[in-house]
Amino acid sequence: MMTPSNVLSASGSDSAVAMSSAGVVAEPSSQRSATLRILPYVFFTFTCYLAIGVQLAILPSYVHLNLGFSTVLAGLIISMEYVATVVTRPQAGRMADRLGAKRTVLYGLVTCGVSGVFTLLAAFCLHLPLLGFSLLVIGRLLLGASESMTSTGATMWGILRVGTEHTAIVISWNGICTYGALALGAPLGVYLEKLLGFWSIGIFVILLGVLPIALGLRLPRVPVTHGEKLPFHHVFGKVAPYGLGLALGSVGFGVLATFITLDFAHRQWSGAAFALTLFGALFVFARLLFANAINKMGGFTVASACLFVESLGLLLLWLTHSEGLAFAGAALTGFGFSLVFPALGVEAVRHISPQDKGSALGAYAVFMDFALMVIGPAAGAIIGGFGYPPIYLFAALAVLMGLGLTQWLATRERRLRGIPA
């Protein structure tokens, strides 16, 4: 049975030649070399998600407790970012394919800095709650657009620098930077707010957008891959089944990131930011521990195992009545969710031509964005009717549905290859 890396090489042998002839740097001779060359590019993803992370643990409580809005709107303020990513992710993919990954990343960083300006202005509208909320919404929308451009562009930049056979490694390191930044950002945001006030979050986000531009300008661009490009709806259709599995698997993260702060406050527990840190830390640990698992065992096998573990963590959060077990549930959820994106992502893009890979990655990520967009107000409505614990049961059931879909996709792939089930 062919591993995902073999399939990518086999199905894209012509594309590899095309990339080489287009002037893309030759493949690194080892995984270590590839990793070292990937890091400068995924660093941009880290800075973008650090800007997201510093807001995760404080925005819902700021909107609910300081501005006086409902839990539905507290969830909506987080979801607004994903509204923007759903709308802009396809365009970000097309930008990476047509304008180049470097320009896409630079545009994303500028947009991140501008989002920080609106967050900063919102800090001075505590006595004008509607205006303050509106400014936060604008900032979140801009931050979502920044996420689309920066993350998609950085991923493509890395892939084109090290070769398509290292797609899984690039996506994995992009995810390590994503959730490592969230793990670091959550307690950092709480610390900054307590030390300096909410205004400091806006300043910090501005700096995270502006300062990395200097590095981006110094790094070499990669040539745009030429060739006939598929219409986006064709690319979208090719990755849709895998994206749906990703969306279902992302519900647990969405619930945890949006509402664990309010859940802990409702139960009069401390350490909600630490729970988010545990989620992110175990996410990164699992990615590092199982760095080669996708290439060795296949994307479907890894995704299935991860979704099962994630569901166990969410069920523990549903059933627990102690702070310690809640921490364990958050950690287990992060450990399980760790490899879902790259495992299904490798399978999603294996048959996509190089000139359409940016669009394919953008289309694939849209499903996660859509799930995170919907989960805020949906889980807020569940909380309003039934309290906090049922949102974790809801998330666990969604993840288990994703597990069932992944198993079906694996069976379909084996049939297409003529491999007995």
Highest mean pLDDT of the ranges 65-79, 172-186, 291-305? 291-305
Mean pLDDT value across residues 161-166: 70
Q: Which of 364, 233, 232, 234 is nearest to 299 (CA)?
A: 364
pLDDT in tens, 75-128: 778 778 878 888 888 788 778 878 888 899 999 999 999 999 999 999 898 889
Q: Return the pLDDT at 201.
A: 92
User: At the top level of CATH, which class does the domain 33-417 belong to?
Assistant: mainly alpha
**What DSSP assignment string belongs to 234-271?**
HHHHHHHHHHHHHHHHHHHHHHHHHHHHHHHHHTT-S-
The pLDDT of residue 108: 94
Average pLDDT of every residue of the chain: 82
Note the pLDDT tens digit of each residue in 195-227: 898 899 999 999 999 999 999 898 887 766 655
Q: Rg of the Cα trace of the chain?
A: 20
Mean pLDDT of 163-192: 79
Extract the tokens encoding 357.
């890979």
User: Which own/partner pairs from 58-65 qualify as long-range (CB within 8 Å, at least 24 positions apart)?
Assistant: 58/189, 58/190, 58/193, 58/198, 58/201, 58/261, 59/136, 60/258, 60/259, 60/261, 60/262, 61/261, 61/262, 61/265, 62/198, 63/133, 63/136, 64/262, 65/265
In Å, what is the CA distance from 45 to each residue of 6, 141, 225, 304, 353? 27, 17, 22, 26, 24
Backbone angles phi, psi at 26, to 5 degrees: -65, 155
Q: Are 56 and 188 in contact (CB under 8 A)?
A: no
pLDDT score recorded for residue 31 = 63
Distance CA 25, CA 27 (A): 7
CB neighbourhood size of 212 (10 A)? 22
d(CA 41, CA 39): 5
Residue located via tokens 């493509």: 156
- pLDDT, residue 30, reads 58
| Nearest Cα residue to 182 out of 166, 174, 218 | 174
Residues 146, 109 contacting (CB under 8 angstroms): yes
Residue 136 has pLDDT above 80, yes or no: yes
